[in-house]
Structure 1
Amino acid sequence: MSTPYFFGYGSLVNRQTHVYADIHLARLKGWRRAWRHTDLRPVAFLTVVQDNSAEIDGLIAHVPNDDWVALDEREHAYDRHLVCDAVAHPKDAPVNVSVYAVPDGKHGSPAFEHPVLLSYIDVVVQGYLREFGEAGAARFFDTTAGWSAPILDDRDAPKYPRHQSLSKDETGFVDDHLRALKVSIHR
């Protein structure tokens, strides 16, 4: 039996948001990130959707104590999909890798009632900057769909529970990329 890992592609890329061990850079083929909303959460969030032409950077991490139940609770708005053959990673031993995604038909596009939180974007991009550098963080923006979603500027009073403080340079990087995408940011 091989060791269970999960592929993180959003806030889990930011190591400050968790205490998972045995983490490695990885790449997932055949999936793309997208902003979505589900009735299980009041705000929009990242998910992955199948796209044979796409590949995204992220991290794989060992499932703590090989206990999927605890991790499934954290990721309760998602379904778990086995993606072993689609993930490139540096592990020598065989590993079972799964990714969490909102199931088809159970999500919709973000709306003003369910915006994307800027504090969430900040956390994700900070993780990509630290793990993959500026080029990797730019790829995050390029390989994520749904930037037409309304974004709520909650930086002064973050609503995202695992929010982090960003440096001036990190904040500027996020703001520059959002401006280039011509996103709609509201207070």
Structure 2
Amino acid sequence: MNGSGNRLVGYFGYGSLVNRATLRPGIVGAHRARLKGWRRTWRPRPDMGPTPGVNLPDGLMPALLTAERAADQAIDGLLVIDLADNLGHVDEREFRYHRRDLTLDDLEVSDLSLSELSGGGIALHVYEARSEPLPVSGPSHILCSYLDAVMQGFLNEFGTAGLHRFVAETDAFHTPIFEDRHAPVYPRAVSLSREEIEVFDAALTSRDSF
């Protein structure tokens, strides 16, 4: 995999990074995967404040996805293979997250032999939300434009069953959704078909049972 002589890295996406349309151009590859020993959850982000490319309505505190260590749990996602020289750009995108190291034992990759990863000596990572934000002082909301991008990624990669699994395997999905689909706040907003919207709405009807 590393014939060019450029060192490669892999990072596991479990939210918007699952949607290939949001990935930085020029990645080496992306592979459906499952991360063991972690659980996905929505976390309020009171530290958002003014952010380039993000214009939050006054008083809106968004909730973003993060992954947390959880024994005997696992989550679906996308293992992105990229040049190590580009990892700094990913860090900039995920600047509210810590980059954590993973091992081959943490992953199940559907269409990539783990020997290909180990043979190339690829460093593996996942991004975990920083725990330093100030205490939450009010309600938070999931941005619909962000959720749309995430759910489109899971639908494309894992089908309808995988989309429902995403909802079931994500904690704090009782968090209310801020409707900004027609005026997106999320800077990597995606376009949806009528069929996608219907599938997303059907998947979200099950969230109150978790």
TM-score relative to the length of structure 2: 0.78
Aligned residues between the structures: 182
Query: Is the CA contact 2:46–2:135 (under 8 Å) kept in the aligned structure 1?
Result: no
SS in structure 1 at match of 2:206 = helix
Match of 1:99 in 2: 126
**Residue of 80, 94, 99 corresponding to 1:80:** 99
Residue type of the alignment partner of 1:88:
E
CA spacing shift, 1:155–1:169, aligned 2, 3 Å: same
Pick the aligned partner of 1:168 from 173, 182, 194.
Answer: 194
CA apart distance, 1:109: 6.9
1:34 to 41, 48, 52: 41
The one-letter amino acid paired with 1:159 is V
Residue ranges of structure 2 left out of the alignment (5+ in a row): 1-5, 49-60
Deviation at 1:106, TM superposition (A): 4.0
Write the distance in 1 (CA, Å) between the matches of 2:7 and 2:117.
Answer: 8
Contact 1:109 1:149 in 2 (8 A): no
Closer, same or farther: CA 59–81 of 1 in aligned 2, 3 Å: same
SS at match of 2:205: helix
Structure 2 match to 1:6: 11
> Aligned to 1:17, which of 18, 22, 28?
22
Number of the residue aligned with 2:54: none
Distance 1:126 1:111, change over 3 A: farther
1:26–1:142 Cα change, 3 Å: same
What percent of counterpart residues are identical?
A: 38
Query: How big is the shift at 1:64?
Result: 3.6
Q: What is the distance in 1 between the residues matched to 2:85 and 2:37?
A: 26
Deviation string, structure 1 residues 61-110 (Cα, Å, up to 9, x no partner): 12344333221111000001111231122242313210001134547679
Normalising by structure 1, we get a TM-score of 0.87
The one-letter amino acid of 1:14's match is: N
Q: Deviations over 1:10-37 (max 9, x none)?
A: 1111111122331111110011110012
Structure 1 or 2, whichever has the larger Rg, is 2
Q: Work out which of the residue numbers 69, 86, 90 in structure 2 matches 1:50.
A: 69
Q: Is the Cα contact below 8 Å between 1:35 and 1:110 reproduced in 2?
A: no
Kept in 1: contact 2:44–2:64 (CA 8 A): yes
Task: Provide the residue aligned with 2:171 in structure 1.
Answer: 145
- Determine the C-alpha separation between the residues in 1 that align with 2:134 and 2:66: 10
The residue type equivalent to 1:62 in the other structure is I
* Counterpart-to-counterpart distance in 2, 1:58 and 1:46: 12
Q: Which runs of 5+ in 1 are unaligned?
A: none
Give the direction of change, closer, same or farther, for the CA distance of 1:136–1:109 in structure 2 (3 Å limit): farther
